[in-house]
Chains A and B, each alone.
Chain A
Amino acid sequence: MTFRQAYYDEPLLFEKRSQDDVPVDVKDLVPPKLRRERLRIPNLPEHDVVRHFTRLSQMNFGIDTGFYPLGSCTMKFNPKFAEELAALATVARIHPDQDESTVQGALRLLHELQRALGVIAGMDAVTLQPAAGAQGELTGLLLAAAYHRDRGESRTQVVLPDTAHGTNFASAGMLGFEIVEIPSKGGRVDSKALEAAVGPKTLAFMITNPNTLGIFEDHVLELADIVHGTGALLYYDGANLNAILGKTTPGKMKFDIVHFNLHKTFTTPHGGGGPGAGPVGVRAFLEPYLPYPLIVHDGPRYRLDYDRPKSIGKVRAWYGNFALLVRAYAYILRKGADGLTAASERAVLNANYLKARVETALAVPYPGLRKHEFVASGAALGAKGVRTVDVAKRLMDFGFHPPTVYFPHLVEEAMMIEPTETETKETLDAFADVLARIVQEDPRVLHEAPHETAVARVDEVKAARDAILSWRTATSRKPASL
Chain B
Amino acid sequence: MASDADEMLRALGLQRVEDLFADIPAAVRLDRLDLEPGLSEQEVVRRITRMLAANRSMDDMPMFLGGGLYDHFVPASVRAIASRSEFYTAYTPYQPELSQGILQALWEYQSLVCELTGMDAANTSMYDASTALGEAALMARRIHGGSTFLIPRAIRWNRRSVLQNYLLGGGLRVRDVDYDRGTGMLDLDKLKEAITPDVCGVYVENPNFFGRFEERLEEVRGLATDAVLVVGVNPIAQALVRPPGDAGADIVIGEGQALGNAVNFGGPLLGLFACRQEHVRKMPGRVIGLTKDAKGARAFCMTLQTREQHIRREKAMSNICTNESLLAVTAAAYMAVLGSNGLRRVAADNIRRAKDLAASIDRIKGFEAPVFKGAHFNEFTVRAKSGYEAVRTGLLARGVQGGIALKRYLPELEDVALFTTTERHTPEDYAALRSALEALA
Question: Is the CB–CB distance between A317 and B28 below 8 Å?
Answer: no
Out of A30, A274, A334, A459, name the residue touching B294 (CB < 8 Å).
A459
Q: Type the 1/0 row for A454-482, where 1 means its CB is closer than 8 Å to any CB of B.
A: 11111110111011111111101000011
Contacts of A248 in B (CB 8 A): 24, 28-30
Question: Is the CB–CB distance between B9 and A349 below 8 Å?
Answer: yes
Q: Is A43 an interface residue (CB 8 A)?
A: yes
Query: How many whole Å from A412's CB to the nearest CB in chain B?
Result: 18
Given contacts A14-B111, A137-B319, contact A103 B265 (CB under 8 A): yes
CA A323 to CA B404, docked complex, whole Å: 23
Out of B68, B299, B303, B309, name the residue touching A317 (CB < 8 Å).
B68
Tell me the B261-286 residues at the A interface (CB within 8 Å): 262-269, 277, 280-281, 286
Residue of A nearest to B47 (CB): A333
Question: Is the CB–CB distance between B101 and A31 below 8 Å?
Answer: no
Q: Is A229 an interface residue (CB 8 A)?
A: no
Contacts of A84 in B (CB 8 A): 45
Given contacts A88-B49, A173-B315, A329-B48, contact A469 B115 (CB under 8 A): no
Give the interface size bracket for B toward A: 35 or more
Out of B35, B268, B352, name the residue touching A116 (CB < 8 Å).
B35
Question: Is the CB–CB distance between A170 and B339 below 8 Å?
Answer: no
Query: How many whole Å from B159's CB to the nearest CB in chain A?
Result: 7
Question: Is the CB–CB distance between B81 and A170 below 8 Å?
Answer: no
Q: Type the 1/0 row for A420-462, where 1 means its CB is closer than 8 Å to any CB of B.
A: 0000111010000000000000000000101001111111101
Given contacts A102-B401, A273-B124, contact A460 B291 (CB under 8 A): yes
Binds A, one of B69-77, B222-230, B432-440: B69-77
Question: Is the CB–CB distance between A29 and B351 below 8 Å?
Answer: yes
CA A246 to CA B239, docked complex, whole Å: 52
Contacts of A106 in B (CB 8 A): 52, 55, 265
CA A410 to CA B92, docked complex, whole Å: 23
Question: Is the CB–CB distance between A95 and B63 below 8 Å?
Answer: yes
Binds A, one of B174-182, B195-203, B329-337, B363-371: B329-337
Given contacts A133-B322, A317-B68, contact A175 B339 (CB under 8 A): no
Q: Is A415 an interface residue (CB 8 A)?
A: no
Query: How many whole Å from A481's CB to the nearest CB in chain B?
Result: 7
Query: How many whole Å from A79's CB to the nearest CB in chain B?
Result: 8
Out of B120, B215, B332, name the residue touching A472 (CB < 8 Å).
B120
Question: Is the CB–CB distance between A131 and B127 below 8 Å?
Answer: yes
Tell me the A239-262 residues at the B interface (CB within 8 Å): 244-249, 252-253, 261
Query: How many whole Å from A402's CB to the nearest CB in chain B?
Result: 6
Q: Is A193 an interface residue (CB 8 A)?
A: no
Tell me the A320-376 residues at the B interface (CB within 8 Å): 320-324, 326, 329-330, 332-341, 345-346, 348-350, 352-353, 356, 368-369
Q: Is A22 an interface residue (CB 8 A)?
A: yes
* Interface core residue of A93, A244, A318, A424 (most chain B CB under 10 Å): A93
Question: Is the CB–CB distance between B162 and A326 below 8 Å?
Answer: no
Contacts of A2 in B (CB 8 A): none
Q: Is A57 an interface residue (CB 8 A)?
A: yes
Out of B34, B101, B120, name the residue touching A473 (CB < 8 Å).
B120
Query: How many whole Å from A145's CB to the nearest CB in chain B?
Result: 7
Query: How many whole Å from A270's CB to the nearest CB in chain B?
Result: 5
Out of A57, A346, A352, A469, name the residue touching B101 (CB < 8 Å).
A57
Question: Is the CB–CB distance between B17 and A349 below 8 Å?
Answer: yes
Give the interface size bracket for A toward B: 35 or more
Q: Is B20 an interface residue (CB 8 A)?
A: yes
Contacts of A196 in B (CB 8 A): none
Contacts of B343 in A (CB 8 A): 39, 41
Question: Is the CB–CB distance between B90 and A317 below 8 Å?
Answer: no
Question: Is the CB–CB distance between B130 and A317 below 8 Å?
Answer: yes
Q: Is A10 an interface residue (CB 8 A)?
A: yes
Query: How many whole Å from B22's CB to the nearest CB in chain A?
Result: 7
CA A356 to CA B325, docked complex, whole Å: 36
Contacts of A318 in B (CB 8 A): 158, 265-267
Out of B40, B121, B242, name the residue touching A36 (CB < 8 Å).
B242
CA A335 to CA B38, docked complex, whole Å: 4
Question: Is the CB–CB distance between B131 and A316 below 8 Å?
Answer: yes
Q: Is A221 an interface residue (CB 8 A)?
A: yes
Tell me the A123-141 residues at the B interface (CB within 8 Å): 131-135, 137-138
Given contacts A57-B86, A263-B322, A352-B12, contact A95 B111 (CB under 8 A): no
CA A111 to CA B273, docked complex, whole Å: 32
Q: Is A171 an interface residue (CB 8 A)?
A: yes
Question: Is the CB–CB distance between B41 and A348 below 8 Å?
Answer: no
CA A102 to CA B265, docked complex, whole Å: 12
Tell me the B90-148 residues at the A interface (CB within 8 Å): 90-102, 104-108, 110-116, 119-122, 124-125, 127-131, 138
CA A419 to CA B404, docked complex, whole Å: 48
Query: How many whole Å from B263's CB to the nearest CB in chain A?
Result: 5
Residue of A nearest to B275 (CB): A469
Query: How many whole Å from B369's CB to the nearest CB in chain A?
Result: 17
Q: Is A284 an interface residue (CB 8 A)?
A: no
Given contacts A84-B45, A273-B325, contact A356 B11 (CB under 8 A): yes
Given contacts A64-B89, A105-B51, contact A454 B32 (CB under 8 A): no
Q: Is B288 an interface residue (CB 8 A)?
A: yes
Given contacts A252-B29, A401-B95, contact A49 B115 (CB under 8 A): no
Residue of A nearest to B9 (CB): A349
Out of B58, B67, B335, B355, name the residue touching A41 (CB < 8 Å).
B335
CA A90 to CA B138, docked complex, whole Å: 37
Contacts of A85 in B (CB 8 A): 45, 48-49
Question: Is the CB–CB distance between B322 and A132 below 8 Å?
Answer: yes
Q: Is A380 an interface residue (CB 8 A)?
A: no
Q: Type the 1/0 row for B300-333, where 1 means its CB is closer than 8 Å to any CB of A.
A: 1101111011111111101111111111010011
CA A34 to CA B374, docked complex, whole Å: 13
Query: How many whole Å from B135's CB to the nearest CB in chain A?
Result: 9
Q: Type the 1/0 row for B374-414, where 1 means its CB is closer than 8 Å to any CB of A.
A: 11000000000000000010001000010010000000000
Given contacts A34-B215, A54-B84, A142-B165, contact A469 B289 (CB under 8 A): yes
CA A181 to CA B36, docked complex, whole Å: 41
Tell me the A111-166 residues at the B interface (CB within 8 Å): 116, 119-120, 122, 131-135, 137-138, 142, 145, 165-166
CA A456 to CA B8, docked complex, whole Å: 36
Question: Is the CB–CB distance between A62 and B8 below 8 Å?
Answer: no
Given contacts A270-B322, A336-B35, contact A61 B99 (CB under 8 A): yes
Residue of A nearest to B92 (CB): A273
Contacts of A52 in B (CB 8 A): 336
CA A31 to CA B374, docked complex, whole Å: 9
Q: Type the 1/0 row for A391-410, where 1 means its CB is closer than 8 Å to any CB of B.
A: 01100100001101001000
Question: Is the CB–CB distance between A334 and B39 below 8 Å?
Answer: yes
* Interface core residue of B28, B88, B332 (most chain A CB under 10 Å): B28
Q: Is B164 an interface residue (CB 8 A)?
A: yes
Query: How many whole Å from A81's CB to the nearest CB in chain B?
Result: 5
Query: How many whole Å from B361's CB to the nearest CB in chain A?
Result: 18
Q: Is A296 an interface residue (CB 8 A)?
A: no
Contacts of B238 in A (CB 8 A): 36, 39
Query: How many whole Å from B5's CB to the nearest CB in chain A?
Result: 6
Question: Is the CB–CB distance between B88 and A272 below 8 Å?
Answer: yes
Contacts of B316 in A (CB 8 A): 166, 169-170, 173-174
29 contacts between A and B (CB under 8 A): A13-B336, A34-B215, A46-B77, A57-B87, A61-B98, A83-B83, A93-B262, A102-B56, A131-B128, A131-B322, A166-B308, A218-B24, A221-B25, A247-B30, A253-B28, A271-B327, A273-B102, A317-B266, A319-B266, A323-B264, A334-B39, A337-B33, A337-B37, A348-B20, A393-B95, A462-B291, A463-B291, A464-B303, A470-B119
Chain A to chain B: the 10 pairs with minimum beta-carbon distance, closest first: A176-B169, A318-B266, A271-B326, A173-B314, A273-B325, A336-B38, A60-B101, A96-B266, A62-B89, A43-B339
Can you add 18 more A-B contacts, CB < 8 Å, to A135-B131, A314-B162, A348-B21? A25-B348, A29-B375, A34-B375, A62-B90, A93-B262, A108-B54, A145-B168, A166-B313, A317-B129, A317-B162, A334-B40, A356-B12, A401-B95, A460-B291, A467-B281, A469-B107, A470-B110, A471-B114
